[in-house]
């Protein structure tokens, strides 16, 4: 049973292994993404029911543009369908939607749907679902540094006023708590340029299953494992 007093506020997820899942079954990679999109919806429901505040999914990295054009186009189509269909459901379930990442070169119709989805759900007070799209953590940190430098040049702030918390407000994730738990599926054990700043003190959880096989139960097990960990944030154990 989950300890209701120790639920992670923010869970970040790297949904890895869609391609391998499909290949092992003799399907094209895109079938893996389609199944992956179904899992994403299920995990949103689990997160909402568990009382998590924020769940962030790595849906498309800044490096994913290097994939074959056909795969990119189909991923964009899934994303577009997702924004058309799921947002209404999110809104009914009091879920707020946000996207993080660089806008260019995402297609204009997708950017419009993202803005509409964010606007429609902005006052919802339940779970916040964040999609990282065209996202790269190093790019995010560079963008934040530029925005801060602009504020200094325009005289709005003084460079000496910058501290760690203040810098966080220049990131795409401003106003969101840092993730407490990172889940990565498919057995790969790396961060792949995902939320490098925000994951500084997160608990890392790697699971062998491919994302299209990741279920409610697997999600619960990740939280149970999190609840066994002792988080010290650089301090020492109290016992």
Q: CB of 180: closest distance to ligand FPP in angstroms?
A: 22
Range 65-94, binding ligand FPP (CB under 6 A): 75, 78-79, 82
Based on the shown chain and the rule CB under 6 A, indicate whether residue 16 belongs to the binding site for ligand FPP. yes
| Nearer Cβ to ligand FPP (86/203) | 86
Asked whether the beta carbons of 32 and 20 are under 8 A apart, the reply is: yes
Instruction: Name every residue whose Cβ is closer than 8 Å to that of residue 200 and which is 6 or more positions away in sequence.
Output: 178
CA 107/CA 166 separation, integer angstroms: 32
Based on the shown chain and the rule CB under 6 A, indicate whether residue 209 belongs to the binding site for ligand FPP. no
- Please confirm, yes or no, whether 213 is among the known catalytic residues: no
Q: Which of 3, 16, 143, 163 does the annotation list as catalytic?
A: 16
What is the side-by-side strand order in the sheet with 181-184?
96-100, 128-135, 54-61, 10-14, 181-184, 203-206
One of 7, 8, 11, 19 touching ligand FPP (CB under 6 A) = 19
- Residue 66 tokens, joined: 């290097």
One of 13, 37, 43, 137 touching ligand FPP (CB under 6 A) = 37
CA 73/CA 20 separation, integer angstroms: 19
Based on the shown chain and the rule CB under 6 A, indicate whether residue 136 belongs to the binding site for ligand FPP. no
| Contacts to ligand FPP by CB under 6 A | 15-20, 33, 36-37, 40, 59, 64, 75, 78-79, 82, 131
């Amino acid at each position: 049973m989950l300890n209701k007093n120790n639920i992670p506020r923010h869970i970040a997820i790297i949904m890895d292994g869609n391609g391998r899942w499909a290949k092992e079954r003799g399907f094209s990679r895109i079938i893996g993404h389609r199944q992956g999109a179904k899992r994403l919806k299920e995990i949103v429901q689990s997160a909402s029911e568990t009382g998590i505040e924020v769940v962030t999914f790595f849906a498309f990295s800044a490096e994913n543009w290097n994939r074959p054009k056909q795969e990119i186009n189909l991923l964009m189509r899934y994303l577009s369908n997702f924004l058309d269909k799921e947002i209404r459901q999110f809104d009914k379930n009091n879920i707020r939607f946000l996207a993080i990442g660089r806008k260019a070169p995402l297609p204009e119709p997708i950017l419009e749907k993202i803005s509409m989805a964010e606007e429609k759900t902005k006052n919802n007070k339940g779970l916040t679902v964040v999609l990282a799209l065209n996202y790269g953590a190093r790019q995010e940190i560079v963008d934040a540094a530029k925005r801060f430098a602009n504020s200094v040049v325009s005289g709005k702030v003084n460079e000496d006023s910058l501290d760690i918390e203040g810098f966080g407000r220049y990131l795409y994730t401003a106003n969101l708590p840092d993730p407490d738990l990172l889940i990565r599926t498919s057995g790969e054990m790396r961060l792949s340029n995902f939320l490098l700043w925000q994951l500084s003190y997160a608990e890392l959880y790697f699971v062998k299953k491919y994302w299209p096989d990741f279920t409610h139960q697997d999600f619960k097990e990740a939280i149970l494992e999190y609840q066994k960990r002792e988080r010290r944030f650089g301090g020492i154990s109290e016992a």
